[in-house]
Structure 1
Amino acid sequence: MTYEQIFLFTLLGLVFGLLVWGRIRYDLVAFAALVVAVVGGVVPAEHAFEGFGHEAVIIIALVLIVSRAMLNAGAVELVARFVVSADRPLSTHIGFMSVAGAAMSAVINNVAALVMLMSLDIEAAEKAKRPVSRSLMPLSFATILGGMITLIGTPPNIVVAQFRERALGAPFSMFDFSPVGLVCASIGIAFVTTIGWRLIPEEAKRATAGERAETDLFVAEAGVGEKSKSIGKTPADLFPVAEEHDIIILGLVRNGRRLPGFSRSVEIRQGDAVVLEGDPKSIEAFIGAASLDTIDSEDHGGLRGETLTLVEATVPQNARMAGRTAQGLGLLYRRGVVLLGVSRQGRRFRERVRRLPIEPGDVVLLLGPESRVRDSAEWLGVLPLAEKSHTVIQRSKALFAIAAFAVGVGAAVAGLLPLAVALAAVVGVYALSGIVGGREVYEAVEWPVIVLLGSLIPLGLALESSGGTQLIAEGILSLTGSLPIWAILALLMIVTMTLSDFLNNVATALIAAPVGLSIARSLEVSPDPFLMAVAVAASCAFLTPIGHKNNTIIMGPGGYRFGDYWRMGLPLEAIIIAVAVPAILFFWPL
């Protein structure tokens, strides 16, 4: 072995050890490894940061922004609305959620798809009074499986596609992954729907969705605009929608005065305000579903303008807001922020929200552009609660967001534009239309993943150019002896899956793709089946909560332990290998 090979194997072994250890952020580990490689002379200094300009890095960043825009515009919610029901049997519910999750993950980032559907799944579990742990793990696995269907569904596909372009002159296209991905996703979803969820340990099944505390409930008002579909209905007519979103309708306000009682049979008119009680997310969802708007916020677009944020904040004793009303403070006209609701230790009140004197200890619900809400909270002297902000969905732009994305992807598939340019154009349209704000464009990007990828790409290139990947390939081939090619393909998938269960899947794909290419060249067969096998295997991390971010996200809400994942994950990985190998050889012959 040469100096470069010894240095790189030692360095990458140390990197993988630190990544598995998990005590140091993986982006810092990868960047430090890049610096060490440059100092050690195995990566030329002039090429050290070329990875950050790699097309795979750009595409992954753009896909994350597109995913945020789809959430902001309600495109994901639009689909989810038709698949979530607490009345279905558990297997049927898991089936609907899994198919929806896989479909969404094929076109947006699978983490974003899980985050959106997870909240809906938890709500369904609360209504059905069943443990949420029975359905969260199948949902996570389904979103991972769905990401394999298209180029942009999961980062490993993007990494492998761009590696193919560098090695063979042309990348995998948007739907080259679809035949194998659809087969694997379909069989995998069938397994988690019928058998997989039953393998979840009994201890995890005891984890239930949390009950909402009375102190988390806000009294809020929603206006009835001239185009509202609630005009002509009564509050009683809105009860089914309110029940669906866990909202209580407390009454109506007309001509600035609260009508007596709950006004159940009073016909709603334009200009009225509907008084609601619920948690912030439920209030926002009900306002959108009932085609209502925020009070006196027309100048700011209501719930249909620029990206708005709901923030919960507590009112301390010495706050400027204490003892004063939102109307008296001129909160809307001076600060451009609406006081949407007030929570007062579970107590209800009949005063108008904007005319209610705020007391120390209250929790207020502020609505507005994020920067204004932040500045207004400081001016009011209130304390925003950590992790208690909610993006307001611009539901009227859902179809526009979907259409813009479809046009961009269509242009890329037709060869009119490179995928990176097409996605950049879609992001530009979203920004100009206010679906994502300037701050959100940067916040949507998962920068640690970008740093990881940008740092490891030069290391992967150095390993390949030094002959290191060829050594690994020869080692694998020496273990297989005279085994048939399908067995070698299966072994490559097993090794890649094992790495992906403990490492970041992007890092796994970066190392495994060159190894797959070297094996194919040694066997003098087409490299495409081996690259496709790497893409599938790198995405399938089902044994641990650390192999894929989706598995990490559900660990707390589902009440899972580290050892719970392999019960369903191990047979699922075996099924994927058994299904993927013949599918790959059928669609990508040697």
Structure 2
Amino acid sequence: MSWQIWFVYGLVALAVLLFFSGRVRLDLTAALVIIALAVSGILTPAEAVSGFGNPLVMLIAGLFIVSEGLARTGVASAVGVKIAALGGRSERRLILLLMPVVAVLSAVMSSTGVVALFVPVVLTLAREAGLPPARLLMPLAIAALIGGMLTLIGTPPNLVVNRALIDAGRDGFAFFDFTLIGGCILLLAIGFLLTLGMRLLPQRTSAPSDDRHRRLHEFAEHYGIGDQLRSLRIQAESALVGKTVGEAAMRREHGLTVIALQRGRWLSSLNPVLVNTRLQADDVLIVVGRPETIATQTTDLRLSDQGFPHGLQRRYRESFGAAETLVVPGSPLVGKTLAQANLRARQRINVLAMRRADKPLEIDFQDTQLQSGDLLLVAGSWSDLERLTGPRTDMVLLQMPAELADRTWHANQAPWAVLITLLMLFAMATQVTSNLVAVMLAAFFMVVTRCVEMNEAYRSMNWQSLVLIAGMLPLADALAKTGGADQIVNGLSALFAGHGVYVILVGLFLLTSLLSQFISNTATTVLIAPIALNLALGLGYSPQAFMMTVAIAASTAFATPVASPVNILVLAPGQYRFSDFVKVGVPLQMLALAVTVLLVPLVFPLTRT
């Protein structure tokens, strides 16, 4: 073998070692691969950096924008609420719900697109359940990869082996020929992740800094108002109908602080309450007040107590929040009461509670004169709260809650986001255009319809993931260009020729699965499929069993983060290490191997031709 082949083999080994050690950033390792291939002369400089112009990199970049649009408009959160309603805070139940849904979707559309759609959903579910995202994102990726094993169009390797059979004059696969084997692997994978896999999934949180931020319910408990948030519907005969909020004097005369108003049923109908907001019948007021006061006023004012159901809590948190502020020395607020400060009119915020000397004030604090050092828990829309972050002379913003991550920035654009995403998935499923064109159009229209602002689109990019895949793609080109891939395949072909058919199936599976951990599963299938076909024909066996084995093995890209765009999409938000994929992925590969070798000969008899 030439030195170029040995050099590429050594580079692959070095990259794997660095990936596995976790001591060098993944994108830095990918950059090292690019430099080594260019400096060695194995690839030209243009070939070495060609990964950055690869359609796959552009496709993933576009999916980041689409995913951001779904998150910013609240669509992802809404889906998360539906699943959360069924799954609750149970990790096992959430995995049991997620994996079949994701697998079925991936059976008829791009697994990459499905994962891009569900990443923000899973992040929302993890926050709701109080789980590290790493506990749910890897099962998401695994389900999407297995989904490709369920139908003929589930993943490109299935189409590659099908075309190879047809070109050889053999019968191709039917649409559901993959379903039995893929379905069994899916069931075993779910069972594995619900049992032994629970111990192998990392407990790592996605953002250690989150621990510094209280959640809204913690703020409420800290200020002693944990049971005081309610929603009250104004009945038609209520005396409040037709009055403005200022005229109603809810806080002064009735002891209730109105912090938001829901008019209609859509998320965008949940609005801040201003002094001149005129109240109507069937308006729902989000109020803070003592339970006994609420009970009295619902009767006196003809209000219907709606409680504060989970769905409304979620919608409220997406548009509104609370923050902790400090009255600074020399503030113009010092010496004034809250009524005199009139923060609702001046700042569009409401003071929910107050602490002095690290104790919540139990009395009606509206007429209490403010002092420097007082802590105020204020509520308002996220945009109004964020205005408190600038230089100020009256108060200092101390903490925003962790729920700021749930904020819906462009709720009015949610229908556009849904339509754009559905059209993208339809185009990808029906192949009316290429996946790249479908995704780029979707990303473009997400920006045009203002589901995502341009600066948000740029920030949505996970540059580490993009550099990683762009750096590893040329390595596959180097293996092919130097003949290294052919050397591996030909050597193993000679090795398998003298053994029984089951040994050959195991060998084909392991070879295909191993290569698919480091290069595109499509490229792997293109390399291995002709060898598998020739082996079957040379040994006198019908080739369908051999080709099915190759196709299934190519989709078992579970064991490395670079094995598939699906894994790359969950890598950063899950804060995964290379070893995390190995721990979970290798046992799953062995399960898939056992199922394939046992079932393939039954479904596709190894009859000699």
Distance change in 2, residues 1:441/1:138 (3 Å): closer
Cα distance in 1 between the residues matched to 2:180 and 2:71: 27
Asked if residue 227 in structure 1 is aligned to residue 228 in structure 2, the reply is: no
Cα distance in 1 between the residues matched to 2:293 and 2:402: 37
Shift of 1:137: 5.0
- Tell me the residue number matched to 2:255: none
- Tell me the residue number matched to 1:99: 100
The answer (yes or no) to whether the contact 1:215–1:346 under 8 Å persists in 2 is no
Q: 1:110 aligns with which of 115, 119, 127?
A: 115
Shift of 1:531: 6.3
The answer (yes or no) to whether the contact 1:31–1:455 under 8 Å persists in 2 is yes
Residues 456-502 of structure 1: per-residue CA shift (max 9 Å, x gap): 222211210110111121233344343466654543443565688xx
Distance change in 2, residues 1:67/1:519 (3 Å): farther
- Tell me the residue number matched to 2:436: 420
Cα distance in 2 between the residues matched to 1:549 and 1:570: 20
The answer (yes or no) to whether the contact 2:185–2:591 under 8 Å persists in 1 is yes
Q: TM-score, normalised by structure 1?
A: 0.65
Residues 287-323 of structure 1: per-residue CA shift (max 9 Å, x gap): 279xxx75xxxxxxxxxxxxxxx69676585797986
Shift of 1:194: 5.3
Cα distance in 2 between the residues matched to 1:30 and 1:538: 19
Shifted more, 573-582 versus 51-60: the winner is: 573-582
The answer (yes or no) to whether the contact 2:416–2:451 under 8 Å persists in 1 is no
Residues 71-114 of structure 1: per-residue CA shift (max 9 Å, x gap): 33343444444443368999766533433454577474537635
Asked if residue 436 in structure 1 is aligned to residue 441 in structure 2, the reply is: no
One-letter amino acid of the counterpart of residue 30, structure 2: A
Shift of 1:29: 0.8
Asked if residue 28 in structure 1 is aligned to residue 28 in structure 2, the reply is: yes
Which ranges in structure 2 are unaligned for 5 or more consecutive residues? 168-172, 206-210, 230-257, 271-279, 538-542, 562-566
One-letter amino acid of the counterpart of residue 120, structure 1: L
Asked if residue 378 in structure 1 is aligned to residue 381 in structure 2, the reply is: no
Distance change in 2, residues 1:377/1:3 (3 Å): same
Cα distance in 2 between the residues matched to 1:405 and 1:76: 11
Secondary structure in structure 2 of the residue aligned to 1:227: coil
Q: 1:265 aligns with which of 298, 310, 314?
A: 298
Cα distance in 2 between the residues matched to 1:267 and 1:586: 73
Cα distance in 2 between the residues matched to 1:379 and 1:424: 40
Cα distance in 1 between the residues matched to 2:16 and 2:442: 36
Residues 97-152 of structure 1: per-residue CA shift (max 9 Å, x gap): 4334545774745376355336536745x7xxxxx79x98577425422344359x
Shift of 1:8: 1.3
The answer (yes or no) to whether the contact 1:101–1:114 under 8 Å persists in 2 is no
Q: 2:485 aligns with which of 469, 474, 483?
A: 469
Aligned positions of 1:359-378 closer than 5 A: 367-368=381-382, 377-378=389-390
Shift of 1:61: 1.7
One-letter amino acid of the counterpart of residue 191, structure 1: L
The answer (yes or no) to whether the contact 1:249–1:262 under 8 Å persists in 2 is no
Distance change in 2, residues 1:326/1:551 (3 Å): farther
Shift of 1:38: 0.6
Shift of 1:52: 0.8
Q: 1:287 aligns with which of 312, 316, 323?
A: 316
Shift of 1:4: 1.5
Distance change in 2, residues 1:59/1:485 (3 Å): farther
Shift of 1:195: 6.5
Secondary structure in structure 1 of the residue aligned to 2:298: coil
Residues 513-568 of structure 1: per-residue CA shift (max 9 Å, x gap): 565357447647799757634541114669xxxx8775896799xxx9x89995x8
- Tell me the residue number matched to 1:85: 86
- Tell me the residue number matched to 2:219: 216
Q: 1:250 aligns with which of 266, 288, 291?
A: 288
Shift of 1:378: 3.2
Q: How many residues align?
A: 514
Secondary structure in structure 1 of the residue aligned to 2:478: helix
Shift of 1:444: 2.5
Identity of paired residues, percent?
Answer: 17
Shift of 1:203: 11
Q: TM-score, normalised by structure 2?
A: 0.63
One-letter amino acid of the counterpart of residue 184, structure 2: I
One-letter amino acid of the counterpart of residue 265, structure 1: T
One-letter amino acid of the counterpart of residue 405, structure 2: H
Cα distance in 2 between the residues matched to 1:348 and 1:161: 67
Shift of 1:22: 1.0
The answer (yes or no) to whether the contact 1:109–1:147 under 8 Å persists in 2 is no
Distance change in 2, residues 1:17/1:519 (3 Å): farther
The answer (yes or no) to whether the contact 1:312–1:384 under 8 Å persists in 2 is yes
- Tell me the residue number matched to 2:276: none
Residues 219-273 of structure 1: per-residue CA shift (max 9 Å, x gap): 78642244258986698xx9xxxxxxxxx96349xxxxx9944567359999x99
One-letter amino acid of the counterpart of residue 592, structure 2: I
Distance change in 2, residues 1:41/1:537 (3 Å): same
The answer (yes or no) to whether the contact 1:74–1:395 under 8 Å persists in 2 is yes
Distance change in 2, residues 1:479/1:94 (3 Å): same
Cα distance in 2 between the residues matched to 1:207 and 1:27: 20
Distance change in 2, residues 1:136/1:8 (3 Å): closer
Residues 342-394 of structure 1: per-residue CA shift (max 9 Å, x gap): 78679478679xx999956556667456xx97675133453566976314235
One-letter amino acid of the counterpart of residue 32, structure 2: A
- Tell me the residue number matched to 1:120: 125
Asked if residue 538 in structure 1 is aligned to residue 557 in structure 2, the reply is: yes
Cα distance in 2 between the residues matched to 1:577 and 1:418: 32
Cα distance in 2 between the residues matched to 1:340 and 1:445: 37
Asked if residue 449 in structure 1 is aligned to residue 465 in structure 2, the reply is: yes
The answer (yes or no) to whether the contact 2:38–2:48 under 8 Å persists in 1 is yes
- Tell me the residue number matched to 2:475: 459
Secondary structure in structure 2 of the residue aligned to 1:390: helix
The answer (yes or no) to whether the contact 2:5–2:484 under 8 Å persists in 1 is yes
- Tell me the residue number matched to 1:144: 142
Distance change in 2, residues 1:109/1:439 (3 Å): farther
Cα distance in 1 between the residues matched to 2:556 and 2:586: 13
- Tell me the residue number matched to 2:70: 70
Cα distance in 2 between the residues matched to 1:329 and 1:188: 63
Cα distance in 1 between the residues matched to 2:342 and 2:512: 60
One-letter amino acid of the counterpart of residue 60, structure 1: I
Distance change in 2, residues 1:347/1:494 (3 Å): farther
The answer (yes or no) to whether the contact 2:99–2:140 under 8 Å persists in 1 is yes
Shift of 1:340: 9.4
Residues 170-227 of structure 1: per-residue CA shift (max 9 Å, x gap): 9xxxxx998588656643453355565243678999999x997964338786422442
Secondary structure in structure 2 of the residue aligned to 1:223: strand
The answer (yes or no) to whether the contact 2:351–2:376 under 8 Å persists in 1 is no
The answer (yes or no) to whether the contact 2:428–2:438 under 8 Å persists in 1 is yes
Distance change in 2, residues 1:87/1:315 (3 Å): closer
**Looking at CA atoms only, which structure, 1 or 2, has the larger radius of gyration?**
2
The answer (yes or no) to whether the contact 2:134–2:574 under 8 Å persists in 1 is yes
